[in-house]
Structure 1
Amino acid sequence: MGVCSIRGHSAESITDEILKIYLSIKDLEDEDILQGNSNYVKNINQKLDELITLPIEDEAAEAILNGYRFNQLFDTIAAFRALYTIKIETEYANTILASNDPWQVLQNFSFYPNYCQLVQTEYQGAELKANDTVVFLGSGPLPLTLMVMCHQHGLKGIGIEQDEQRVELSRKVVDKLGLSNSIKIIHGNHYKLPLSERVELIMIAGQAQPKKEIIEQLAKALPAGTKVSCRIYEKGLRRLLDRSILVDLPANIADEFNESCRIHPQPPVNNTVVFAVKSSAARS
């Protein structure tokens, strides 16, 4: 592998750092990340942040990631990041519940500006309007996307979350913020779809996994004309967080969706948003 200059980092040193992060987390149980030594997992996450934010061209990043052919490594790192995000969101959800000014606390959340811009992108990209209903797969303990969408754009939201404890916590937060009439959180996963309600957009979270399985189920279950959006990482080394980019779907599945547009991120947002429309009827 050739050497590339990235603030003094070579491709080899970046590969070594990816491996070090993997080795530091590969034996961790989910509860070690969610409930364990906060400094240990915080330091790993900080190292991961430093790595994925290195200023590197997309082509150079892809060459590095393709050069290290261990899918388990990527899956383990992506799973760690998803669980660490849940840890942070859980802690912040509890902070909101304990506050006398929950909206101020929510707006002070460091990622709040990112979500405001990302939601604006999805609202415009899907051509939504007030009172439309959206579904968010993988809504988590702090369903920020739905909160911002419903509060700022007058939408109705349905969050689907597969962990029962996160479902209960997110329902309490939604109620604390006075959004219970706009947002409903249900227990389940992508196999819950389609719902009985009319839905204008189904959103797939950036860290929702496994994406291939999710897309395959949606291709089978959704009626023709259903709008879908998916948040993916495709810039620089952020691709490390999700190797299942949509272009890797089997042709028979990819053909079930007509991509309408793809909006690339502008700071502070890091996700590309892909919009697509289901092209054929649901299959039995």
Structure 2
Amino acid sequence: MEVCSITDHSSESIIEEILKIYSSIKDLEDEEILQDTSDHLKNVYQRLDDLITLPIDYEAAEAILNGHGFDQALDTIIRFIYLYTIRLETEYANSILTSNEPWEMLKNYSFYPNYCQLVRTEYQGAGLKANDTVVFLGSGPLPVTLILMCHQHGLKGIGIEQDEQRAELSRKVVDKLGLSNAIEIIHGNHFQLPLSEGADLIMIAAQAQPKKEIVEQLAKALPAGTKISCRIYEKGLRRLLDRSILVGLPAKLAHEFKECRRIHPLPPVYNTVVFAVRSSAAAPERP
């Protein structure tokens, strides 16, 4: 199986690898990515991880991702990463359900330390306190964020997941961990907001898509003063994971929301967390 061919960090080598990866996955259907049991997709995922962790600076990444007209390739790669991540989370969620020690199984999840630190950052950054309610858009089949928010910080959580089967799987995981009284999972999307229960913080997952559309809907639906947090990737080629950074999300946030804090990642976390408050609604346009 072909491995990552990059032997230097030149733009030419990086672009060549992006296009090779694109060629290897462009014809895959969603179900193939979610269900294929061969090593091929695992190796592609590893190649992508090798690629996005290359130590290149912001300006070099900007030139590569914005300057070569391969939007379709980047969109295809993002779709692959999204679906393969769902696959990994689904597999681990099922492992928790079959375990006699579900909490130990969860703690052995490879990204568990990352989530612990990220959740602590969001809890402190948003000024939350016990019994506050958080809504998490894009909670997925393994809602680790909500699990840790509620278990470690005493919050109440509402997860919104657009895929019905993933929503049901996550409910079973929450129940297995004994957190059904603290966490509710709703099958739906950003058009469900605002909820009648209200929320002290609305969180947008890094994997929540399409992020630009989500932010636009929140700008229409949320009352002034609503707090949101948004996980984004903005370091080096990790920006490849989040096309919203390349298509105007920061400008949209600045126009409709007042950014109040931005916390950059420290290892093992990769996400920058942007905290914002919905500004006063603009006056309707005159006909």
Q: TM-score, normalised by structure 1?
A: 0.94
Match of 1:134 in 2: 134
Instruction: Kindly indicate whether the alpha-carbon contact (under 8 Å) linking 2:9 and 2:54 is maintained by their aligned counterparts in 1.
Output: no
In structure 2, do the counterparts of structure 1 residues 19 and 226 end up closer, same or farther at CA, with 3 Å as the change threshold?
same
Instruction: Kindly indicate whether the alpha-carbon contact (under 8 Å) linking 1:221 and 1:282 is maintained by their aligned counterparts in 2.
Output: no
In 1, Cα distance between equivalents of 2:183 and 2:123: 16
Shift of 1:269: 0.3
Match of 2:191 in 1: 191
Match of 1:146 in 2: 146
Match of 2:60 in 1: 60
| 1:70 maps onto 2:79 in alignment | no
Shift of 1:7: 6.4
In structure 2, do the counterparts of structure 1 residues 132 and 156 end up closer, same or farther at CA, with 3 Å as the change threshold?
same
In 1, Cα distance between equivalents of 2:171 and 2:142: 9
* Amino acid in the other structure paired with 1:214: I
The aligned length equals 279
In 1, Cα distance between equivalents of 2:53 and 2:136: 27
In 2, Cα distance between equivalents of 1:282 and 1:156: 31
In 2, Cα distance between equivalents of 1:196 and 1:255: 26
* Amino acid in the other structure paired with 2:258: N
Match of 1:121 in 2: 121
Unaligned runs of 5+ in 1: 1-5
Larger mean Cα displacement after TM superposition, 163-172 or 36-45? 36-45
Match of 1:266 in 2: 266
Shift of 1:246: 8.0
Map 1:227-238; keep pairs closer than 5 Å: 227-238=227-238
Shift of 1:249: 3.8
Shift of 1:251: 5.5
Match of 2:218 in 1: 218
Shift of 1:250: 8.6
* Amino acid in the other structure paired with 1:259: E
Deviations 1:109-138 (A, max 9, x none): 000000000001100110000000000001
SS of equivalent to 1:244: helix
Match of 1:204 in 2: 204
Instruction: Kindly indicate whether the alpha-carbon contact (under 8 Å) linking 2:52 and 2:237 is maintained by their aligned counterparts in 1.
Output: yes
Match of 1:168 in 2: 168
Deviations 1:177-224 (A, max 9, x none): 000000000000000000001200000010111111000000000011
| 1:94 maps onto 2:94 in alignment | yes
Instruction: Kindly indicate whether the alpha-carbon contact (under 8 Å) linking 1:106 and 1:112 is maintained by their aligned counterparts in 2.
Output: yes
Shift of 1:9: 2.8
Shift of 1:74: 1.5
Match of 1:278 in 2: 278
Instruction: Kindly indicate whether the alpha-carbon contact (under 8 Å) linking 1:90 and 1:141 is maintained by their aligned counterparts in 2.
Output: yes
Match of 1:25 in 2: 25
Match of 2:3 in 1: none
Instruction: Kindly indicate whether the alpha-carbon contact (under 8 Å) linking 1:162 and 1:189 is maintained by their aligned counterparts in 2.
Output: yes
In 2, Cα distance between equivalents of 1:250 and 1:239: 13
Q: CA RMSD in A?
A: 1.8
* Amino acid in the other structure paired with 1:171: R
* Amino acid in the other structure paired with 2:217: Q
Shift of 1:36: 1.1
In structure 2, do the counterparts of structure 1 residues 223 and 57 end up closer, same or farther at CA, with 3 Å as the change threshold?
same
SS of equivalent to 1:129: coil
Match of 1:44 in 2: 44
Instruction: Kindly indicate whether the alpha-carbon contact (under 8 Å) linking 1:136 and 1:205 is maintained by their aligned counterparts in 2.
Output: yes
In structure 2, do the counterparts of structure 1 residues 74 and 283 end up closer, same or farther at CA, with 3 Å as the change threshold?
farther
Shift of 1:37: 3.1
Deviations 1:226-275 (A, max 9, x none): 00100001001101111212881496764210000111000000000001
Shift of 1:47: 0.2
Identical positions, percent = 77
Q: TM-score, normalised by structure 2?
A: 0.93
In 1, Cα distance between equivalents of 2:56 and 2:48: 15
In 2, Cα distance between equivalents of 1:252 and 1:261: 16
In 2, Cα distance between equivalents of 1:73 and 1:252: 24
SS of equivalent to 2:16: helix
| 1:244 maps onto 2:244 in alignment | yes
Deviations 1:144-165 (A, max 9, x none): 0000110000000000001010
Unaligned runs of 5+ in 2: 1-5
